[in-house]
């Protein structure tokens, strides 16, 4: 099981902020901003580079969840950033597709 599957299965504790039948969102254990939440599909897709046409439904649902999550986290008005790391240069460390939602302070650009 991936680390995130173990969180979905409640084998590892996490501060869950949203969950439905297709996705789950929880606070990152090592936050890089005042708000740093990981939004992931429950289906294990290793990374963006491996998405399949059959994933269109879950990926669409994941993105449609973002504004609801942002409202819930209090950053809908102030703004936020979505990040998906892919592969070693992208900084991916967990091979289970996840979207970082970062906010709560002005975020620099370009990223490091
Ligand atoms: P990546 O580097 O793959 O884009 O993101 C993985 C993220 O998972 C990192 O930001 C890291 O802090 C977070 N993370 C790693 N282990 C855990 C954990 O056990 N619980 C939670 N909530 N987040 C984790």
From the CB of 30, is ligand 1 less than 6 Å away?
Answer: yes
From the CB of 84, is ligand 1 less than 6 Å away?
Answer: no
- The answer to whether the beta carbons of residues 23 and 99 sit under 8 Å apart is no
Tell me, what's the pLDDT at 112?
83
From the CB of 91, is ligand 1 less than 6 Å away?
Answer: yes
Tell me, what's the pLDDT at 50?
98
Mean pLDDT of 9-25: 98
For the segment 70-105, what is each residue's pLDDT rounded down to a tens digit?
Answer: 999 999 999 999 999 999 999 999 999 999 999 999
Name the residue of 14, 27, 29 whose CB sits within 8 Å of the most ligand 1 atoms, as the mutation to test its pocket: 29
Choosing from 36, 96, 98, 100, the catalytic residue is 98
State the Cα angle at 97 between 95 and 99, rounded to 5°: 130
35-41 and 99-103 beta bridge pairing: antiparallel
User: What percent of the chain clears pLDDT 70, i.e. is strictly above it?
Assistant: 100
Tell me, what's the pLDDT at 106?
97
Tell me, what's the pLDDT at 102?
98
Count of CA atoms in the C-beta half-sphere (13 A) of 82: 14
- Other CB atoms within a 10 A radius of the CB of residue 102 amount to 20
> What superfamily in CATH does domain 3-88+99-103 come from?
HIT-like (3.30.428.10)
- The answer to whether the beta carbons of residues 16 and 24 sit under 8 Å apart is yes
CB neighbour list of residue 66: distance below 8 Å, 6 or more residues apart: 39, 82, 99, 101
From the CB of 107, is ligand 1 less than 6 Å away?
Answer: no
Tell me, what's the pLDDT at 81?
98
For the segment 26-79, what is each residue's pLDDT rounded down to a tens digit?
Answer: 999 999 999 999 999 999 999 999 999 999 999 999 999 999 999 999 999 999
Residue 98 catalytic?
yes
């Amino acid at each position: 099981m991936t680390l995130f599957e173990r969180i979905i299965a409640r084998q590892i504790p996490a501060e869950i902020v949203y969950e439905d039948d297709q996705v789950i969102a929880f606070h990152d254990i090592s936050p890089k901003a005042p708000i740093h939440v990981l939004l992931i599909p429950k289906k294990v897709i290793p990374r963006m580079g491996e998405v399949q046409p059959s994933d269109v439904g879950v990926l669409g649902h994941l993105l449609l969840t973002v504004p609801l999550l942002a409202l819930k986290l209090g950053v809908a008005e102030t703004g936020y950033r979505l990040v998906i790391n892919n592969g070693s240069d992208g900084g991916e460390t967990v091979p289970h597709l996840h979207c970082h939602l970062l906010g709560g302070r002005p975020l620099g650009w370009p990223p490091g």
